[in-house]
Each structure stands twice: as C-alpha cells, then as structure tokens.
Amino acid sequence: MNVNVTLPDGSVRQFPAGITVAEAAAEIGKGLARAAVAAKLDGEMVDLKRTVTGDAGLQILTFDSAEGKEVFWHTSTHIMAQAVKRLFPRVRLTIGPAVENGFYYDFDSERPFTPEDLQRIEAEMATIVQADFPLVRSQVGRQEATALFEQLGEPYKVELIHDLPEDATISIYRQGEFIDLCVGPHLPSTGRVKAFKLMSVAGAYWRGDQRNPMLQRIYGISFEKKQDLDDYLSRIEAAKRRDHRKLGRELDLFSVADEGPGFPFFHPKGMIIRNLLEEFWRQEHRRAGYQEVKTPIILNEDLWRRSGHWDHYRENMYYTRIDDVGYAIKPMNCPGGMLLYKRRQWSYRDLPLRVGELGLVHRHELSGVLHGLLRVRAFTQDDAHIFMLPSQIQDEVGGVITLADKFYRLFGFTYHVELSTRPENSMGSDAAWELATSALEQALKASGLEYRVNPGDGAFYGPKIDFHLRDSIGRTWQCGTIQLDFQMPERFDLEYTGEDGLKHRPVMIHRVIYGSIERFIGLLTEHFAGAFPAWLAPVQVKVLPITDRQREYALQLLQRLDAEGLRAEVDDRNEKVNYKIREAQMEKVPYMLVLGDKEVAANLVAVREREAGDLGERSWEDFVAELKREVETRALPKGFPRQGEH
C-alpha cells in the first residue's frame, strides 16, 4: 500500500506506507537526507524516525531554517545536560530550551559553575558526541513517568509532569544512560552536533519566580561545522568591542546611574546625536504629510481602562494619585492620540490624517532585563498615528513602508519583514482580526516585500508588520512596526462624516520608524562601532596644532568651522602631535586638521581621515566644501560596508 506525500512545492510523491521520514528524505534527494535534522508532518514537528502511515504533507527541515536550528540546539541542551550529570551527579535537572541564538539549560546546583567547570563540561560533551548515541523517543503513562523521575531523583521533572493535563501524552528521550522529559523532536543521534561552545553562566529563578530556588543557567551555541562556530565566535568578539555601553562611556555619550536603573542620562555629545536624529525625523515627516503633536505623560486611570491597557498591559505601567484620583504614566502614546482626534468633527475629505509625536513613555521592566539603551524604563517613541478610510489602508501602509525603507537605507541597514498575528492576550472580535490581518497581507504583497509570518506576536489590539534590521556585523534588531487597529477607534467612539453624510468609524495605524530614540542610538553606536558618519558625529573636526606657534591659526580655523555650521574642537595641549592624532582617533572623530608652520604660511590644512589616514594638504575652502557636501548628503562613513538590497 502506498501513501501520497505532498511536498512544500505542491508536488506529490508516493511512498510505501510505514516509510520513515528519513527514508522519504533519502528518496527525495541524498543531499537533503544528509542535511535533514527533523521534519514537519501535516504541520507537526517530528523526528526523522517518525513513520508515515497515511496521506500527509511533509516538509524536511535543515539547520538553515529557524525550526531546524531549534531542533539542533534543543538536542545540544540534552548533550550538555548529560555531560553535567556525568560530572556532577548531585545536580538536579530543570528545563533546557533552544533560544534565539543557541540554547541553555537550568540546573539546581549546590554551588555556582566556574569557567573551569565549563571547560570540563565541554570536554565531556565531546565524548558524548563522539559516542554518537541515538536519541530514542518513547511515550509513557503519567504514573510511569512520575515513578521514573522520582527514581532518578529529579523533583523538578516530577513537578512538570504533575502540571501536565491528565490526558497529556508524555514523551521521554534516552541517549546512552541519560533520560530527559521532553516533547522533542530531536536529531537522530548526538554525533550530529559537531561544533559547540559553552558561552556563559547566569542565575535564574525556577519558573522566573524569585520566591523559587535560584538555578544555574548555562548558555551555549552549536553548529554543524566548526567553521560556522568560528565565524559566530568572531562576530561575538566584534560585538563585545562594539558594545554601546562601553562606547557610550568612552565617547562620553550617555550613561545610566545607580540612582535610576533603566533611566538613561544623555551627555552633551550624546544630545548632539539625539537632536540630529530628531531633526531628520521631523524633516522627513513634514515631507510625508505628518503633523507633529505632543500629548501629556500622565493621564487619568479611566483612559487606560477604556484603551484596554488596564486589562492587557497593567503590569508594565507606573501609577500615581492626584487629588485622590488614580492616574497612570503613559506606556504608549496612542490613548492621548485618541483624545486629540476627538477634539473636533472630521470629514472623509480630511482623511487620511497623519499625526506624529516624539513621545516620552515609561514602562516597568524587570531589573534583570535592563540593558544600556537597548532595554530601558523611559524612552522616546517616534510614534505616529494615521486615521483613514478603509479604502486608504493599502496606500497608507505602503507609504509607511516607503518611509521606513528611506530611513534604514540612510544608515546602511538591510532588513527583513515579519507579519505578526493575533496573540492570546488580545481584544476584539475574530472578524475584526481577520479583516485587519488580511489588509496587512494585501499591503505587503502590493509593496513587493517578501515577508514571513510570526504567529501570535501581534499587539493586543491588532496585527502588525515588524522591521528587523541587519547591522554591519550581521546581527538583527527589531525596530520599526506598523500596527493596524480596528479596536481603538471602536473603544473611543471615533467618527468621521462620510460622503453619504452619515457617521463612520475610521481605521487606524500605529507606527514607529526608529522604534525608540534611545534604542536606535544604542543600535547605531554598535552598528558604526562609535565611528558615526560625519553628519551625526558629535565632533566632526579636531584641529591639531603641532606647537604653540600654530595655536592662533588653529583658533581662527575653529571660528571659521563654527561659522560654517560644523562642529569642531582644538586640541592645543602641550603634547606630541602623534599622541593628539591617536586621541582623536580613539574619540572616533571623522577628520583631523594637522597644522604646522608650513600650513600656516600657505593658509592650508593637512587633512587626516579616521580610517584612511593622511589625505594630504588641502586649501581651507576645498576641505570645508567636501565636508559640508558629506554632511548635507548624510553619507555613510568612508570604508563603511554598504548594505545591499533588502
């Protein structure tokens, strides 16, 4: 008896009933079979040993896919846990998932793991990989599973079993002497994990609750090939050198004080970058037909109940009382935008109405997730709300996509787009969600952008399009978003008068481009490694007199630069010029003007660029003209890797 198997390209292949997924992959292609890590059978993630007993859809997963990486990294957690149990038998197992960049396993250990422990664990993992243990799945009953893990002395596993529904299918995986409670799927054997590295150890509470025991979390990464691991580790080292927290201190841009964790301070040089980004934002939004507004930071509690934030976002908000009435500090700008819309009656002729706000918001983040400028408690969203007719959705979404593309290309980013759909914690009818999601899908298709679906990650009031930027060393960052909302106009009873003279409900877009000013500055700092393009650099020119004889000429040049609207400093310290050059390069200043007696006599400047070095002598006028052209065009830094098409 044969079964019909439908492949992702829509083609149908016939195989004998009972064939394993691995055998089917080999029939499709030997290369595919070698690369296969797991599969999806009628949408269900399965091991390669799973048999195909009836007609089904089949997708073979490789490491190149996100789901394939998840399987590969999940198997790596089992290898690590087996190694830990061999070396430290008294350690108790908890959970070990794959995460965005690798994997971790949480252990209940009597003492913290040391760097030397990680080296020993890695060595034991290599032994387990070399043994090439098959990963064998079996299903057991609830009582049998409980008895097994009680016998193994694994109380956390027993707790997890007790939390499962009574009718849940309980699966376990064995590899050699090691047994773990796990849904799977997994690689066929441990020998597939050829290259791995344990990265760090951190503390983590069991189930994220500080009332529970503190566990030891070991993070790791693994790949199919050693070269891929080496490349990854090189990128990690590059990322450490680019850490915006380190560069923020060294370049005197921003800081976070112990007195205000999550509330960043911007220094004078950091404010230059911030103001320039905001000026560019205002300029481009005026051109795109936006009006700028400002809404209050604190608003009445009733507003947040009406918007839905009270039910869906309350744990992330800050509160206060004024005149014995409850108020909340805004975590988002949108409810204030609703009140602005309601200030007057609108006609269909007024729409679309595009309203932008650089709005300061506050969100309560746990201290453990705060991270420089990238995860803070107070930040400025470059927010905008577009109120429109239903017939205008596609054009308005397309307009935002075009605007976002212009911003990201300016900074040298490529990006990919995700469509995030309805989350569990959502409000509104199924019909409204289906309509909103379909509208975004149509807009994406009309724009010509490729996109992937991110199930369940939409906002609680609507689906969204997310922009994930790729920086100069290959990391991705989620920044811009376009959220289509049918809920807020309904909850706030927003109206416009239609062409028929009747009242109608507008549709609404929430969108950001930068995401937040603070986070985008942190991202740019790492993207450019602190060497900002000339138009953003806090100091564009360092004037370096070789001796005191050139000091007067240097000060004259400083005045001229200031008059031309350029940002410059003079380093007239009694130091050797090579020392001054090194200092200016450490400060990532784009240009240095070295002044000796020869330059003074000829009214010239000897120009150095931070990457290219000595550019030779120029006339003052030529240098200023070139620099102003670079600033006005907002050119990327010289030598900066330009990104290709998205």
Rounded Cα–Cα distance for residues 581 and 597 (Å): 18
Q: What is the DSSP string of 508-565?
A: EEEEESSS-HHHHHHHHHHHTTT---TTT-S--EEEEESSGGGHHHHHHHHHHHHHTT
Residue in 381, 483, 540, 643 annotated catalytic: 381
Nearest Cα neighbor of 60 from 14, 2, 16, 7 is 7
Q: What's at 371, amino acid-wise?
A: H
Residue 493 corresponds to which tokens in the numbers above? 């009873």
Tally of helices (H runs) and strands (E runs) in the chain: 20, 35
Residue in 175, 192, 334, 483 annotated catalytic: 334
Mean pLDDT of 402-428: 90
Q: How many CA atoms lie within 13 A of 528 on its CB side?
A: 28
pLDDT score, position 297 = 96
638 versus 624: which is more confidently predicted?
624
Q: Establish whether 510 is a catalytic residue.
A: yes
Residue in 47, 180, 382, 383 annotated catalytic: 383
Rounded Cα–Cα distance for residues 258 and 245 (Å): 14
* Domains (range + CATH), the chain: 2-62 (3.10.20.30), 67-240 (3.30.980.10), 250-296+331-527 (3.30.930.10), 541-632 (3.40.50.800)
Q: Establish whether 383 is a catalytic residue.
A: yes
Mean pLDDT of 303-321: 89
Mean pLDDT of 579-597: 96
Q: Is the pLDDT of residue 581 over 90?
A: yes
Q: Establish whether 244 is a catalytic residue.
A: no
Q: Establish whether 30 is a catalytic residue.
A: no
Residue in 269, 464, 527, 608 annotated catalytic: 464
Residue in 385, 542, 608, 610 annotated catalytic: 385
Q: Is the pLDDT of residue 646 over 60?
A: no
Residue in 510, 580, 588, 608 annotated catalytic: 510
How distant, in Å, are the alpha carbons of 144, 173, 178 from that of 82? 21, 12, 6
pLDDT score, position 641 = 59
Q: Is the pLDDT of residue 186 over 90?
A: yes
* 8-state DSSP, 635: P
Residue in 354, 362, 363, 470 annotated catalytic: 363
Rounded Cα–Cα distance for residues 334 and 341 (Å): 11
Q: Establish whether 464 is a catalytic residue.
A: yes
| Res. 123 pLDDT band, cuts 50 70 90 | very high
pLDDT score, position 539 = 98
Q: Is the pLDDT of residue 637 over 70?
A: yes
